[in-house]
Structures are given as C-alpha cells and as structure tokens.
Amino acid sequence: MKSKEYLSMLQKILHLVDEGVHVLDKNGNTIIYNDAMSKLEKMETKEVIKKPFGEVFKNLNNENSTLLKALKYGESTTNLKQTYLNKYGKEITTINSTLPVVVNDEVVAVVEVAKNITKMAEMSHTILKLQNEIGKPEIAKTKKIRKYNFNNIIGESSNFTEVIEKAKKASKNSASVFIFGETGTGKELIAQSIHYESKRKDKPFIAQNCAALPESLLEGLLFGTSKGGFTGAVDRAGLFEQANGGTLLLDEINSMPYELQAKLLRVLQENYIRRVGGTRDIAIDVRIISTSNEHPKIILKEGKLRKDLFYRLNVIQISIPPLRERKDDVLMLAHMFIEKYNERLNKEVVSISEDAKENLLNYEYPGNVRELENIIMSAMSMSDDQAGTLNSSNFSIQKTDVEYINNHEEIGNEGIDEYLGNLEKKIIKNALKINNNNITKAAETLKIKRQTLQHKIKKYEINI
C-alpha cells in the first residue's frame, strides 16, 4: 500500500474511533488531532493542528504532560488518569495511554489515546464528598443511614440458620469474611449485621461497589489521593482511612479490576496504605467483608479474582442459599413484608389467602428476598382493599406456570419433554401478550436474554 493510501485509511479510522487521539511530531507540533479528541477537550481541530503543543496547552509542561514526557524522555504510560484544564479553563479528566514512536533510537513522534471520564470523575468526587460528610459524627446523627443487625434477619430453615450462626461467630473476631449469594439473598444485610454486632460497631461501616468504577478512580476512592499525585489531584482520605477501626464492605469483589486486586492484596498483607501519589505510609486497621454473586469456584476458574487475594479475603466463607432452596422461609418473610407495608401504606392486611400462599410457594424467585418484597409491596399498593386478606390477583409473578402445573398434574401421554415444551410455549405466549408483543420487554419479564427469547419464538413457531 502506498503511503498516501495508508494516510487516507488512517484518517478514516481516526474519524470513527470513540477514543481521542493526539499525535505530536518530534518537534512537539500536533500532527493528528481526531474528532473525538476535539470533542473531549472542547477545542476546534484548527486551534490545535500544526501548532506547538506548549502554546495551546499552556499549563502543561515536560513534567506534568504525558505527551511531552514521552517526547522528551521516551517514556510510555498506560491507563494513567490525568486532570487538566482546556483552553477555556474547563477541567477535563481522562484516562490516557501514551507511546513514543521510536525509529533508529530516536523519538520521531508521540501518540496519545484518551478516554473521557470527566463525568465519572465528577461522580467519584461527589461520592467521596458525601462519604466524608457521612463519616462526620455530627452529620451521621442527623442522617438516616439504614443500619441492619441480626434482629432484622428473618428465616428459620435449617440451611439458613446455619448461615446466621456462622455470621454471628464471625462477629466475634476481625477475620476477613467472603459472602457469596445470588442477588437479593441478603449479603449486605448479613455484612452489616456482622459489623454492628462486633466490637467495631461504634466505628464506621462503609460499603463500596467494586464494579461501578474504572480502576484508577476506584484506586483513588479506596486509598485516597495526594496533592501532586497527578495534575489537579487534591489531598483526600480514601475509604480505607475513613473506615479505620471499622469495617469496609467490598461489594461485587469479582468485578474489581485485576490490577487493583494486587494493590489491595498488598494493603491487606501489610496493614498500611499509601494515598495515590503520596509518599507517606498510613497504618490502617480495617475489617474487610467482600461479596460476590458468582460462585467462588467460577470466579477463580475464570480468572476474575486473583487466587492469592481470594485466600486473604476468604478466611470465613458465608454462602447464602437462594430463596428457592429455603421455601420454608417464604411465608414468614411475606408476613414480615406485609407488616412493613401496612405501616408504610397505612393498611391493615392481616392474612394471606390460600391461593396467594400457593403462588408464593411455587415461585422460583430469581431475585430472591428482594423480589419477594417487591411482589408483596406492589400487590399491596395495587389492591383497593385497605384491610383483610392479601390475595394473588395483584401478584406480578407469572401465574400461568403455577396454574398450568396445577391443572395438569398428570403428564399423561405427552412425555415430559413435550409437556415442558408446551408449558414453556404457553409461558412465552403469555409474557408476549402482557407486553404487547414487545420482545425486549417480554424477555425482561421472563428474565432471559432477548436473543434467547427470539430463538424460542422461532422454535415454538409463535406468531407475533
């Protein structure tokens, strides 16, 4: 391919990519500045192209700009967070990777690829600010933070009682706890109960979801940042410091970025942290409770969690069974939720009708206790009755499958495959009907992927 063709191809590619691309020649003049970069920095291409970099970005220099560092020292950086001001003084936060292009031992150009995370950075600052405020005792008193303890936990099935016993034992010491359970099984409830039953109860309980933020933001959030760490950084305590003496809940640890896991492991081994960009080691004493909604075997097998970190976190393992495996607890929980919503909705429901009980007991609860609560809450708020018995007419669960099974107690001549096929077809038809044949919505109702539903519609030759 001729160089002209290459160039034209390159321009097409650069036009299409979502990441900002900025390339300087060896003299520090901009030779490539794509649309995404122009959008990100709110600068017109013509304001930047062919101009010396230092003239356009006046507050950046050889020491704080990754592009200039790459040009001057041949240094490459990957996924580095940068905060800087554009020409109009607007603060921009990006994740940058910068590479020098070296030919015959000479840097001939430098390439920077940038992802805009300004919104994300603003969000993480807000989270930290709020968390700092919550941490202040005088504010904590006035703010209603939902605190759970063992008295709030309902359930008497033997497999669930074992879980509670184990959690109570865990509250007697400070070892790391790894809680595993499907969504809505009560992981947070148990984590908080352990904390508020333990010696640490008067110190903070702080929860952070590890899946919500990219690595560099989560790192700053957990360990804090230090002035001078990167452009625009401020001195701020991270969650480890804020939770000192208390408990830090690392929610969805299976989604924590892999690189950060190594840093977390080091902190847990050494019991001190260093703020991002800081030089001082700060001793910390924080109990770690982590949660995952995937089985540890799977997350280890798929390499989502470092084994060495897992062993540190998994000193006590608590595995909460899904609600469908402890059906004995369903009605007990349902009554508790009825009481809760009697109060909130100003109602006086006292009992559950027989058919409603049957419905509740036959359902599989993919969303576990949270889903049961939603079913009760919406049935109570939809019902016109102020008092009396809760019946199933307002249940948002798929009644058809329950009815169908009850009406066809005997499989008869069909055989189980055909029987189940017909049952599935009927459930799908019903889901489509209640969603006006909207496949996306029907898939949501059925809690399956849209593609899976489409496949089944074809298989069962359902006309929509």
Ligand X SMILES: Nc1ncnc2c1ncn2[C@@H]1O[C@H](COP(=O)(O)OP(=O)(O)OP(=O)(O)O)[C@@H](O)[C@H]1O
Contact of residue 321 among Mg ion, ligand X, none (CB under 5-8 Å per partner type):
none
Across 332-433, where does the E strand assignment appear? 348-352, 387-390
In sequence order, the 6+-apart residues with CB closer than 8 A to the CB of 310 are 178, 296, 299, 300
Is the Cβ of residue 188 or residue 215 nearer to Mg ion in the bound state?
188
**Maximum CA extent, the chain:** 86
With CB under 6 A as the contact rule, the residue among 27, 79, 183, 393 that binds ligand X is: 183
Question: From residue 335 to residue 374, what is the string marking binding to ligand X with x (rule CB under 6 A)?
Answer: ----------------------------------xx--x-
In the complex, least distance from residue 251 CB atom to Mg ion, rounded to whole angstroms: 5
Q: How many CB atoms lie within 10 A of CB 434?
A: 14
For residue 317, the partner it binds in ligand X, Mg ion, none, with Cβ less than 5 to 8 A by kind, is none
Q: Which does 186 bind (CB under 5 to 8 A by kind): Mg ion, ligand X, none?
A: ligand X
Q: How many residues bind Mg ion (CB under 5 A)?
A: 2
Report the residue closest to ligand X, judged by CB: 186
Residue 155 binds: one of ligand X, Mg ion, none (C-beta under 5 to 8 A by kind): ligand X
Burial class for 294, CB neighbours closer than 10 Å (0-12, 13-18, 19+): middle
3-state SS class at 183 = coil
Please, are residues 272 and 282 in contact by the beta-carbon 8 Å criterion? yes
String marking each residue 172-201 x if it binds Mg ion according to CB under 5 A:
---------------xx-------------
Q: 392's torsion region: left (phi>0), alpha (psi -120 to 50) or beta?
A: alpha
Among 185, 226, 242, 392, binds ligand X (CB under 6 A): 185
Among ligand X, Mg ion, none, partner that 22 touches (CB below 5 to 8 angstroms by kind): none
How many residues comprise the chain?
Answer: 464
Q: Which two tokens stand for residue 181?
A: 């359970």
Q: Choose the contact partner of 153 out of Mg ion, ligand X, none; CB within 5 to 8 A by kind.
A: ligand X
Binding flag, residue 124, ligand X (CB under 6 A) = no
Specify the residue, 148 or 310, whose C-beta has the smaller distance to ligand X. 148
Contacts (CB under 6 A) with ligand X, residues 279-318: 293
Question: What are the E-state strand segments in 44-159?
Answer: 77-85, 91-103, 106-116
Residues 136-155 within binding reach of ligand X (CB under 6 A): 152-155
Q: Are 295 and 301 in contact (CB under 8 A)?
A: no
Count of alpha carbons within 13 angstroms of residue 152, beta-carbon side:
16
Point out which residues bind ligand X (CB under 6 A): 152-155, 181, 183-189, 293, 369-370, 373
